[in-house]
Amino acid sequence: MAEAGETVESLAVKVRVDPKTAARWLASGRIPHPRTRIAVAHVLSRDAADLWPEPFRRRDLPWFRPWAELEQDATSLRSYQPLLVPGLLQTERYARAVLATGGLVAPAEVDQIVVSRLERQAVLCRDAPPQLVAVIDEVVLRRPVGDGSVMAGQLKHLAAVAEWEHVQVRVIPAESPWHTGLAGPFVLGRLPDGTELAYLDNQLRGQVVTDPIDIANLGRRWESVAGEALPRRRSTELIREVAETWT
């Protein structure tokens, strides 16, 4: 804070908390809410993991940790993936095959990330789980990841989870024309206080998006891709049909 020229009061104003709350971070070592950690890190031009390392001692890739924290607090998640099954819905074998492809991730790191990914999925099984709507393109069902047994297991799991009351998996059919979602994957999340955030991924790393204008833009893109998708029940039927082709 001193290096950035901030006081407790000025920092509190910029991250929209009470000065007494900000003071507790210093006096008693309390750890802020995940979204507040991100805001403080932005104001101070530091990495949130440097300021509060304890919550980040996970097995995720370092740049993914802020979103992994926020994901656990979300009341709703809207995910669009044009190329892969979303991480929250992946089986262990599918996740391992994705990470091991190309040899870009060391075997030991693959193990760590897979374990962390499976741990994240527990959020869907808690007493008050978030509402998850996942939209994927049909190519996700048909492109081989690993061998046929990996794909068959993944699609059967996807169809089973899609029957849960709080989970929807909807598929954009292959014959659909080009749509805005094909520009890249994204996830929109809503926190208990109504705050909306997003996560974008690329070839190198992902980023948490908090700017309201960007969130609104992604919201319009979500409406576009969701409009291209088959209804919930027909999507589940298609997933089961394609699963049979992998056996």
User: Can you tell me the mean pLDDT for 199-207?
Assistant: 81
Ranges assigned E (strand) in the chain: 76-81, 131-137, 167-172, 186-190, 196-201, 206-209
For the whole model, what pTM was predicted?
0.74
pLDDT tens readout for residues 89-115: 999 999 999 988 877 677 878 888 888
How much is the average pLDDT of 21-35?
76
Cα gap 40→66, rounded to integer Å: 13
Mean pLDDT of 117-140: 92
Please compute, for residue 236, the number of CA atoms within 13 A of its CA located in the half-sphere on the CB side. Answer: 13
Average pLDDT (196-223) is: 90
Q: Residue 59: its pLDDT value, please?
A: 46
- Closest alpha carbon to 218 in 193, 185, 191: 185
Residue 167 backbone dihedrals phi, psi, to 5 degrees: -125, 130
Name the nearest CA neighbour of 70 among 206, 179, 232.
206
Model confidence pLDDT, tens digit, residues 38-51: 788 888 988 776 78
Q: What is the mean pLDDT of residues 193-203?
A: 88
Cα three-residue angle 182-157-118, rounded to 5 degrees? 85
Structure confidence at residue 34 (pLDDT): 66
Query: Among residues 125, 159, 157, which one has the least CA distance to residue 232?
Result: 159
CB 94 within 8 A of CB 141: no
Q: Which amino acid, 117?
A: R
User: How much of the chain exceeds pLDDT 90, in percent?
Assistant: 54
The encoded tokens of residue 74 equal 């979300």
Pairing, β 131-137 against β 76-81: parallel
Instruction: Return d(Cα 178, Cα 46) in angstroms, integer.
Output: 39
pLDDT of residue 60: 52
Average pLDDT for residues 25-35, to the nearest whole number?
73
